[in-house]
Amino acid sequence: QKEVEQDPGPLSVPEGAIVSLNCTYSNSAFQYFMWYRQYSRKGPELLMYTYSSGNKEDGRFTAQVDKSSKYISLFIRDSQPSDSATYLCAMFSDRGSTLGRLYFGRGTQLTVWP
Amino acid sequence: DSGVTQTPKHLITATGQRVTLRCSPRSGDLSVYWYQQSLDQGLQFLIQYYNGEERAKGNILERFSAQQFPDLHSELNLSSLELGDSALYFCASSVGRGGSGNTIYFGEGSWLTVV
């Protein structure tokens, strides 16, 4: 079992739709959760950074973490064609031998069509 | 622009050859990370250096090696290249060694094609 599981999609939605992206993980030691956006052949760009369970909102983006279910989500409201990219979840633990090492999902490819 | 600089951006080389990828971290960042991204494997952690010392090692092949120099730039050396080594190689950097508040920023990547 991989540490982090993410449906690769592809996901295609019309402009203005609400997009839901999800990851599950197996290591209960993970405490810090991130979402990166990656445009084709570009470096991943950090979108959201959250700690432990709860919600965090930033503009049209909302990140949710449910540690009891080992499940994290990213919601994009009023999606735009410029949101078309691959979205990668990532997480790490603050303790143990894997301190600071980021574990990534495979990424979900999103297309928002006008 | 993340502030992490990688060179070269594109590289085509033959099997059996050796290449060196270079990375300059963001100003003030002490940690450098190397990741490999291929279509079938996603982003794979290779190795981390912190202030010149190896900090963590991931799925890095024995044919690959890396180092971080006193000026904090890093190089990833790939030798005896195989077709399967064709991938995007990303460098990332952060201020700390890891842990809370340690945001990791990625460069634009070096696209390696082995023919």
SS3 of chain A: helix, strand, coil, percent, to 5: 5, 55, 45
pLDDT reading at A1 higher than 70 = no
* Residue numbers in B near A43 (CB within 8 A): 2, 4, 90, 106-109
Tens digits of per-residue pLDDT, B30-73?
999 999 998 777 889 999 999 999 988 888 999 999 999 999 99
d(CA A73, CA A89): 9
Q: Point out the residue among B4, B45, B105 whose CB comes nearest to the CB of A101.
A: B45
d(CA B42, CA B104): 17
d(CA A66, CA A76): 18
Q: Helix (H, G, I), strand (E, B), or coil: what is residue A6?
A: strand
Cis check for the bond before A10: say yes or no (omega within 30 of 0): yes
Residue B74: closest CA among B37, B30, B42, B40: B30
pLDDT reading at B100 higher than 70 = no
Q: What do you get for the CA distance between the two ends of chain A, in Å?
A: 38
pLDDT reading at A72 higher than 80 = yes
- Residue B90 in contact with residue B26, Cβ under 8 Å? no
* Residue numbers in B near A103 (CB within 8 A): 45
Q: If pLDDT is split at 50, 70 and 90, which confidence band does A83 have?
A: very high
pLDDT reading at B98 higher than 90 = no
